[in-house]
């Protein structure tokens, strides 16, 4: 005669009333907590996540490049992917520079002559202790922040050109596509008062040297000149109002 042995297994984590009494008396070890699986978090690369505009917005430039063939059957998402990729590239271009970069003679070819063809480079030759250099440098530093898609570099004059005369300082050189496009010797090149607006106006007389990234090269020259004129008029009005306030208080 077969001997059937049944083992009853309760729900995991549960206990009998008798076990609870024995634990209170210290005859049994504390009950282990019931197992709880960690909360579900979907895999970012899971196919369950809907591929929509928000999903595309979460991708960086490299990830968007890798998705080039993913939307062959969805024209809208493919167009949105291209648009988003262009926006990221444009933002990177706008934020490319934004300050005056110090370079040495050994850096010149790499940083200036070999700069990308779509980048205008403004080089200031200077020496410490020459007051005119300090005045022009103040304007250049302000322009570098304002026009962050233009590359501004500074180099000690004799590191760039051996035996370059101090009487020619400061000197501005403008490069594009490996060629010199402008050469401005001395502070007098920028008028009686060296201001950021005056320097910007001179630099953009013939070429779209200055660019904040919001305009194409064809439009940047006109945009810069219009902006310079607007700021120049605003400055004249502000100076006039200060003079009137000073006169009325006497």
Q: What is the CATH number of the domain that holds 150?
A: 3.40.30.10
Q: Are 76 and 160 found together in one domain?
A: no
In this structure, is residue 108 part of a structural domain? Answer: yes
pTM of the model: 0.57
Instruction: Flag the least confident range among 60-64, 172-176, 234-238.
Output: 234-238
- Candidates 39, 1, 38, 31; CA nearest to 13 is 31
Instruction: Flag the least confident range among 86-95, 141-150, 160-169.
Output: 86-95
Quick one: what percent of the chain has pLDDT higher than 90? Answer: 34
Q: Which two tokens stand for residue 94?
A: 């706008």
Q: Which two tokens stand for residue 44?
A: 């970012």
pLDDT at 16 over 90: no
Q: What is the mean pLDDT of residues 4-20?
A: 58
Residue 88 belongs to what domain range? 53-94
Q: Which two tokens stand for residue 207?
A: 């070429």
Confidence of residue 7 (pLDDT cuts 50, 70, 90): very low
The tokens 């035996």 sit on which residue? 163
Quick one: what percent of the chain has pLDDT higher than 70? Answer: 66
Total structural domains within the chain: 2
What are the start-end ranges of the E strands in the chain?
100-102, 120-126, 151-156, 171-176, 179-185
* Whole-angstrom distance, CA of residue 25 vs CA of residue 33: 19
Q: Considering 65, 94, 123, which residue would you say is the last residue of a domain?
A: 94
pLDDT at 46 over 90: no
Instruction: Flag the least confident range among 29-43, 55-69, 95-109, 126-140.
Output: 29-43
- Candidates 187, 180, 231; CA nearest to 209 is 180
pLDDT at 11 over 60: no
* Whole-angstrom distance, CA of residue 59 vs CA of residue 113: 34
* Whole-angstrom distance, CA of residue 199 vs CA of residue 190: 6
In this structure, is residue 219 part of a structural domain? Answer: yes
Q: What is the mean pLDDT of residues 65-83?
A: 73
């Amino acid at each position: 005669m077969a001997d059937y042995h049944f083992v009853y297994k309760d729900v995991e984590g549960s206990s009998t009333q008798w076990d609870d009494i024995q634990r209170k008396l210290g005859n049994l070890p504390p009950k282990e907590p019931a197992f709880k699986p960690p909360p579900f978090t979907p895999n970012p690369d899971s196919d369950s996540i809907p591929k929509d505009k928000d999903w595309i917005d979460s991708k960086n430039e490299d990830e968007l490049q890798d998705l080039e063939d993913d939307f062959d059957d969805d024209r809208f998402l493919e167009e949105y992917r291209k648009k988003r990729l262009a926006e990221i590239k444009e933002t990177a271009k706008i934020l490319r520079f934004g300050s005056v970069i110090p370079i040495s003679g050994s850096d010149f070819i790499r940083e200036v002559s070999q700069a990308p063809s779509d980048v205008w480079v403004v080089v200031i030759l200077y020496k410490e202790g020459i007051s005119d250099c300090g005045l022009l440098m103040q304007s250049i530093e302000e322009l570098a922040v304002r026009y962050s898609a233009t590359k501004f570099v500074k180099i000690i004059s004799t590191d760039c050109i051996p035996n370059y005369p101090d009487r020619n300082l400061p000197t501005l050189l403008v490069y594009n596509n490996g060629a010199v496009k402008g050469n401005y010797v001395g502070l007098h090149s920028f008028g009686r008062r060296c201001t950021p607006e005056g320097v910007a106006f001179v630099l953009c007389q013939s070429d779209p040297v200055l660019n904040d990234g919001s305009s194409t090269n064809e439009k940047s020259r006109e945009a810069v000149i219009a902006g310079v004129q607007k700021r120049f008029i605003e400055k004249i009005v502000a100076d006039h109002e200060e003079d009137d306030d000073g006169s009325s208080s006497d």
